[in-house]
Structure 1
Amino acid sequence: MSKVVFYYFDIKGRGEACRLLLAYGGQQFEDRRITAEQWPTFKLKTPFGQLPILEIDGKQYAQSLAISRYLGRKYGLVGDTPEDALEIDQNVDLFIELCLKGGQIMYERDAARKESLYAEAVKNVFPDYLERLNSIINKNNGHLALGKLTWGDFVFAGLFDYFIKVLRMPDLEKKYPAFQKVVDNVYSIPKVKSYSDSTNY
């Protein structure tokens, strides 16, 4: 059996979907959580100077979406055709695009500019993305694509806390119950729930 080690910080962030997928697949893995003190030295050992990293028998693989996509294929969380795969990819990309837009504002250092950008996004950017995501998820019966569980659901669920934070919308799941349904569909899976219940952040 392969030795699997997963490296990320002690937060959910971009690494949580990968952890959830590993749990779903029943994969035994070492969950290495890098501290702020360890990071400058550890960073030099990474392929791209970034986390997360999935290490399989000593070989390292990077990029959270690439890892999630790989695990999705490995555990049968993809469609039957290239077009199915394209649908998952496009919907994941839409979600990540909105996360990045929110993240760019959140990490803006100039306080006045930050508030100006946020006000503009709340008015002219976020609503359209949120409505599109909501429509997609409702159409797919509480999933991000294909009307069934795919690796895209794990990306959405793993990043949902971050999603709420960057949008500054603590009651987002109340306005868009479909979003919470995706999260619940993932975290209610017995192996995923067992992993989640054993983890503290």
Structure 2
Amino acid sequence: MPKVSVTYFNVKGLGEGIRMLLAYGGQEFEDVRVDKEQWPDLKPKTPFGQLPLLEIDGKQYAQCIAICRYLGRKYGLAGTTLEEDLLIDQNMDFFNDIRMKAVAANYEPDEKVKAAKLEDLKKNHFPFLFSKLDEIIKENNGFLAAGRLTWADFMFAGVYDALKMFTHIPDLDEKYPSFSKLRDTVRSLPKVKEFCESAPKTDF
């Protein structure tokens, strides 16, 4: 079995989907969690100056969606046709677009501008985007695409708690129960559940 490690910060975020996919696939891996003091020294040693980072037998790989897609193919969680792969990618990209809108607003340094951006998102954008995402999940038997479990669900489940924080919508679970249900479906898979119960407890 190859020597595998995942390097990310001590949060779920963009690293959690990778961790859960490896657990699902039965791959033993070193779960390396970086703190703020370590990051400046590590950053220039990564392929693109960012995390998460997957390392397999000493070779580094970056970009969380690309890594999750690779692991999905490896563990039978990809599409069975090119068109099914296209739909998985399409819905994952749509979800990631939503996430990035929330993240961009949160990292606005001017507090007044930040508040205005978040208010605009909550009033004029999130209602449509989240309704469409809810519709997609319901149409796919509770999953993000293909009507069954795919690698995209692991990515979704990994970042969902962070998404809730970034959107500043405290009742997101109540408005769209399909979201938290999908997260919980992934986290309740036997090997994934075992990993989650033994991993450090973080809020997002």
Sort the TM-score into its range (normalised by shorter chain): over 0.9
| Count of residues in correspondence between the two structures | 201
**Equivalent residue for 1:66?**
66
Q: Deviations over 1:34-69 (max 9, x none)?
A: 111111111111111111110000000000001000
Please tell me the residue identity of whatever aligns with 1:106. Answer: N
What is the Cα-based RMSD across aligned positions, in Å? Answer: 0.8
Please tell me the residue identity of whatever aligns with 1:164. Answer: K
**Equivalent residue for 1:160?**
160
**Equivalent residue for 2:104?**
104
- So what's the TM-score if we normalise by structure 1? 0.98
**Equivalences for residues 44-193 of structure 1 within 5 A:** 44-193=44-193
Q: Tell me whether 88-97 or 111-120 shows the greater mean CA deviation.
A: 111-120
The 4+ residue runs of structure 1 with deviation greater than 3 A are none
Question: Does the alignment pair 1:39 with 2:39?
Answer: yes
Q: Share of identical aligned residues, percent?
A: 54
Uncovered stretches (5+) of structure 2, i.e. residues with no partner: none
Cα shift at 1:162: 0.8
Please tell me the residue identity of whatever aligns with 1:91. Answer: N
SS at match of 2:45: coil
Cα shift at 1:116: 1.1
Cα shift at 1:119: 1.4
Q: Deviations over 1:111-143 (max 9, x none)?
A: 111111111111111111101100000001110
Cα shift at 1:165: 0.7
Q: Distance in 2 between matches of 1:120 and 1:170?
A: 16
Cα shift at 1:155: 0.8
Q: Distance in 1 between matches of 2:119 and 2:3?
A: 48
Q: Distance in 2 between matches of 1:120 and 1:54?
A: 36
Q: Distance in 2 between matches of 1:12 and 1:52?
A: 11
Q: Deviations over 1:60-112 (max 9, x none)?
A: 00000010000000000011101100100010111110010011111111111
Q: Distance in 2 between matches of 1:80 and 1:114?
A: 42
Q: Distance in 1 between matches of 2:10 and 2:16?
A: 10
Cα shift at 1:180: 1.5
SS at match of 1:125: helix
Q: Distance in 1 between matches of 2:61 and 2:68?
A: 11
Cα shift at 1:174: 1.1
Cα shift at 1:170: 2.0
Q: Distance in 2 between matches of 1:190 and 1:170?
A: 29
Q: Distance in 1 between matches of 2:94 and 2:169?
A: 18
